[in-house]
Amino acid sequence: MNNAIAGFSKLSKEEKINWIAKEYFSDPATATALIKNYWNSDAKLQQLHDEFIENTITNFYLPLGIAPNFIINEKYYTIPMVTEESSVVAAAAKSAKYWSTRGGFKATVLNTEKIGQVHFIYKGDEAKLKQFFTKNKQSFIEATDSLTANMKKRGGGIIGIELRDKTDVINNYYQLHATFETRDSMGANFINSCLEQFSKTLVTKAADYELFSEEEKDIRVVMSILSNYVPNCVVRAEVSCAIEALADKNIENPAEFAEKFLLAVKIAEVEPFRAVTHNKGIMNGIDAVVVATGNDFRAVEAGIHAYASRNGQYSSLSHAKIEDGIFTFRLEVPLALGTVGGLTTLHPLVKLALEMLEKPSAEELMQIVAVAGLAQNFAALRSLTTTGIQEGHMKMHLNNILNQFNATEEERMLIKKHFENHAVSHAAVVNFIEKLRQ
């Protein structure tokens, strides 16, 4: 079978589907029907989705759930979450309800600085390059005036630009390292446009600089691109209460629970194998809200994991302490988010999610997302240090198995009753279903 095809992107949507169905599926009609079954019945809405990316054939749905009862800085929120992972939304909602009677969550944006870089090669005298940069620094800023005018009106723009010598890691390698404030937009297009103008200014100004030799004038720009590592665009989320206030039906000895919880966090601080799974749990909450609000979860993931490694070893993003009888659990993460532009103004469900959050600013959304991560982490650690994490997971897993085997309502009732007192595993459930059906 030859699966190569020329000019695929120029085919119509129907032609793309027909080719895929014929080339890859033993039953092309069934495959085609499934693909079309996920189209939106509203033709205009489907066209909107089709134009988000290239070579679209259908929609891939993920559940949109909500976690109510979040109190953040003394205000109630119902948080939208998009995820396919069992128990994530339930865990967030459980944490929200738990902390709603213990003072709620506090969140603070520590900084909102974003970063972009022009990476270039310069073969010459470093002192002359520094002199050139100092002389032309203002020209770099002024050359972007047409690009920054609207952002400046909103209180954003270019914060600063500096020359960085990186020749210790790559021969003749330097950077223009720029910082930006993008207000309520994530700002990727804005930042990249400014950086490309910086690179043009760099090349043209260098070619005319009288102190450079001909070789020094030949500056080679490698690339101009924003960074998704934003260690100065950081938000803190926190919960705290008296140790005795931690008590509930699963926490009969709050002092013992608090000490065990602290130890679990310390293990994640010093043991990378645990830290990765610990932080993945945090990202369960963060990613779900980032996706629901139309932001770039890949950029957020990359930046946060880099931040977790900033001290030379991958470590926990969250931290806990007990001081003077007060239990405190906190999280600090870098989050470059936007509430205007991109999908936030195009995707109907993203607009719905942002309206559900009462149309937050980018800083407010940073706080909400960080709180979702902390809530998720608290729920996971609470389960791990009390009942164990599998209890909740396996309840959801049981539902997935029942759906897989198209269990009837009567079968569901009998199976769930049986597994109230028996351990859930795929094999055990399948065996029980087979016995029922015999």
Q: Of 13, 305, 319, 393, which is the active-site residue?
A: 393
Per-residue pLDDT at 1 exceeds 60: no
Query: 374 and 318 in contact (C-beta within 8 Å)?
Result: yes
Q: Is 388's pLDDT higher than 80?
A: no
Whether the predicted pLDDT of 347 surpasses 70: yes
Q: Name the band, by pLDDT with cuts 50, 70 and 90, for residue 278.
A: very high
Q: Are the C-beta atoms of 244 and 254 separated by less than 8 Å?
A: yes
What does the pLDDT average to over 308-334?
98
Q: Compute the Cα dihedral for 292, 298, 300, 304 and give only its sign.
A: positive
% of residues, the chain, pLDDT over 70: 97
Mean pLDDT of 47-59: 96
What is the rounded CA–CA span in Å between residue 322 and residue 25? Answer: 59
Confidence of residue 420 (pLDDT cuts 50, 70, 90): confident
pLDDT at residue 149 above 70?
yes
pLDDT at residue 389 greater than cutoff 60: no
Q: Please identify which of the residues 106, 280, 397, 416 carries the catalytic annotation.
A: 280
pLDDT of 399 reads 79
Share of residues in the chain with pLDDT > 90 (%) = 85
How many C-beta atoms lie closer than 10 Å to residue 131's C-beta?
A: 14
Q: Minimal CA–CA distance to 198: which of 214, 219, 169, 228?
A: 219
Retrieve residue 106's tokens: 């506090």
pLDDT over 80 at 396, yes or no: no
| DSSP assignments along 268-327, one per residue | HHH-HHHHHHHHHHHHHHHHHHHHHTT--HHHHHHHHHHHHTTTSS---SEEEEEETTEE
User: 253-271 pLDDT, tens per residue?
Assistant: 999 999 999 999 999 999 9
- Confidence tier at 418 by pLDDT (50, 70, 90): confident
Residues 6+ apart with CB under 8 A from 157: 148, 151, 180, 181
For residues 387 and 274, what is the distance between their CA atoms, to the nearest angstrom? 19
pLDDT tens-digit series, residues 175-184:
999 999 999 9
**Average of per-residue pLDDT across 213-237:** 98
To the query of whether residue 50 is one of the catalytic residues in this protein, the response is no
| Res 392: pLDDT | 56
| Separation CA 417–CA 197 (nearest Å) | 66
Please check whether residue 366 is in contact with residue 260, taking contact to mean a CB–CB distance below 8 angstroms: no
Annotation says 85 is catalytic: yes
pLDDT of residue 248: 94
Query: For 150, how many CA atoms within 13 A lie in the half-sphere containing its CB?
Result: 6
Mean pLDDT on 35-46: 96
Between 429 and 148, where is the model more confident?
Answer: 148
Is 51 within 8 Å of 34 (Cβ atoms)?
no
Residue identified by tokens 């691109």 is: 225
pLDDT of residue 342: 84
Q: Which of 240, 283, 279, 278 is nearest to 258 (CA)?
A: 240
The pTM of this model reads 0.89
* Structure confidence at residue 5 as a pLDDT band (50, 70, 90): very high
DSSP 8-state symbol, 185: B
Q: Specify the pLDDT at position 304.
A: 98
Q: What is the mean pLDDT of residues 316-341?
A: 97
Name 168's Cβ contacts closer than 8 Å, sequence gap at least 6: none
- At residue 394, the pLDDT reads 64
Q: Which domains does the chain have, with CATH numbers?
A: 8-50 (no CATH), 64-111+233-388 (3.90.770.10), 114-227 (3.30.70.420), 392-437 (no CATH)
How many residues in total does the chain contain?
438
Per the prediction, the chain carries an average pLDDT of: 95
Q: pLDDT-based confidence at 393, cuts 50/70/90?
A: low
Residue 232 has pLDDT above 60, yes or no: yes
Write the secondary structure of 87-122 as one string of H (helix), E (strand) and C (coil). Answer: CHHHHHHHHHHHHHCCCCEEEEECCCCEEEEEEEEC
Predicted pLDDT at 338: 96
Beta strands in 11-137 (DSSP E): 64-72, 75-82, 106-109, 114-121
State the average pLDDT over residues 152-172. Answer: 97
pLDDT tops 90 at residue 425: no
pLDDT score of 154: 94
Whether residue 64 contacts residue 353, with contact meaning beta carbons closer than 8 Å, is answered with yes
Catalytic status, residue 296: yes
Q: Where are the alpha helices (DSSP H) in 213-253?
A: 214-217
Q: Please tell me which residue in 181, 296, 363, 364 is annotated as part of the active site.
A: 296
Q: Which of 85, 142, 358, 391 is catalytic?
A: 85
- DSSP letter (8 states) at residue 156: -
